[in-house]
A = this chain, B = another copy of it.
């Protein structure tokens, strides 16, 4: 382990389900940590519990750290925290590096990066995959976009939060890979949902279907995670359908910017949008099965 003394001091904004667990790993690893969040009083209580300092505003947070990490809900919040009236730009020390670990549109990342660069502030995107247990264990997958030097500077902190940390390319590349991964998940889930309807309509034993496909070339992470909930029509939310729809749209925006089509993701977007129109936006995205069933005129 490197000595904490050689590490940059960290500011962490956002103490939600993911952020609180990620920041706890930084505190545990001995980083000099200051936290802040939108909800009054929450940062103070969290800091007392975890032996960290706290700040009242993003500007005050920026004044207390070398590296400022954001883990919030969307691009608007990232913009507010970094560039808003009480944003980090108003308290930044020389050489501040901002690291956004939220999942936002890659185009927002590059736009925010341009505004920060105009003020001499560095920016890295480092979104994560993995749910709250992996956040707690420090085994998230973290995909970074930005200059190699900046990524190297924040890597000791990322290594504490992640099991796999990769540098993907220029600023925005982490977000781009994140939304491509999610679009692939949505597309593979669409394949699964349609196949379940066909198998059910053909009278197959669906336990056998799961076993055989899971052992075979048709298998996918989605089969392992979503075949059971789909068969049970159990939409207990692990990842909201409306959030998946947003990510697939971001991915399609990136594909369009790059001048290439992504028809499988177009199809997944249509199914997710149909699910959202049915009022399933807050359900788990496995509920896209209902859109497939509506089109087939048959339930699994």
Name A's B-contacting residues (CB within 8 A). Answer: 129-130, 141, 143, 164, 166-170, 173, 176-177, 180-185, 187-188, 190-192, 194-195, 197-199, 201-205, 208-209, 211-213, 215-222, 225, 251, 254-255, 257-265, 267, 295-298
Q: A199-B177, A217-B181 are in contact. Are A191 and B264 (CB under 8 A)?
A: yes
Whether B203 and A169, one on each chain, are in contact in the complex, defined by CB atoms closer than 8 angstroms, is yes
**Bound Cα distance from A253 to B267, whole angstroms:** 21
Complex CA gap A169/B200 in Å reads 11
19 further A-B contacts with Cβ under 8 Å, apart from A194-B264, A198-B255, are: A141-B216, A143-B212, A168-B205, A176-B202, A180-B209, A181-B212, A181-B213, A184-B217, A185-B218, A191-B191, A194-B261, A195-B262, A202-B257, A220-B220, A259-B298, A261-B295, A261-B296, A263-B267, A264-B267
From known contacts A177-B208, A251-B198, infer whether A182 and B264 are also in contact, taking CB-CB under 8 Å.
no
**Cα–Cα, bound, A203→B267 (Å):** 24
Report B-chain residues with C-beta under 8 Å of the C-beta of A263: 194, 267
CB distance from A287 to the nearest CB of B (A): 16
Q: Are B141 and A173 in contact (CB under 8 A)?
A: no
Whole-angstrom distance between the Cβ of A221 and the nearest chain B Cβ:
4
10 closest A-B pairs by beta carbon, nearest first, are A184-B218, A201-B258, A220-B220, A185-B217, A181-B218, A260-B296, A166-B208, A219-B221, A187-B191, A129-B216
Q: CB-CB < 8 A to A143: which residues of B?
A: 208, 212
Given A217-B222, A217-B225, A218-B221: A191 and B184 interface contact (C-beta under 8 Å): yes
Which one of A187, A192, A198, A215 has the highest number of Cβ atoms from chain B below 10 Å of its Cβ? A198
Q: Choose one: B195, B217, B295, B298; the contact of A221 (CB below 8 Å).
A: B217
Q: Please tell me if the beta carbons of A168 and B216 are within 8 angstroms of each other in the complex.
A: no
Residue from the set A166, A199, A209 with the largest chain B CB neighbour count within 10 Å: A199
Contact of A194 among B202, B211, B221, B262 (CB under 8 A): B262
For A166, the chain B residues whose CB sits under 8 A away are 205, 208, 211-212
Q: Report the separation of the CA atoms of residues A183 and B260 in the bound assembly, to the nearest whole angstrom.
A: 24
Contact, CB under 8 Å: B197 / A260: yes
Determine the residue in chain B with the shortest Cβ distance to A239: B217
Chain B residue at smallest Cβ distance from A252? B198
- Return the chain B residue nearest A185 by Cβ: B217
Quick one: which of B164, B194, B195, B204 contacts A169, CB cutoff 8 A? B204
Question: Chain B residues with Cβ under 8 A from A259's Cβ?
Answer: 201, 297-298
Residues on B with C-beta less than 8 A from A251 are 198
Tell me the bound Cα distance from A137 to B142 in angstroms: 39
In the bound complex, CA of A206 to CA of B180 (Å): 12
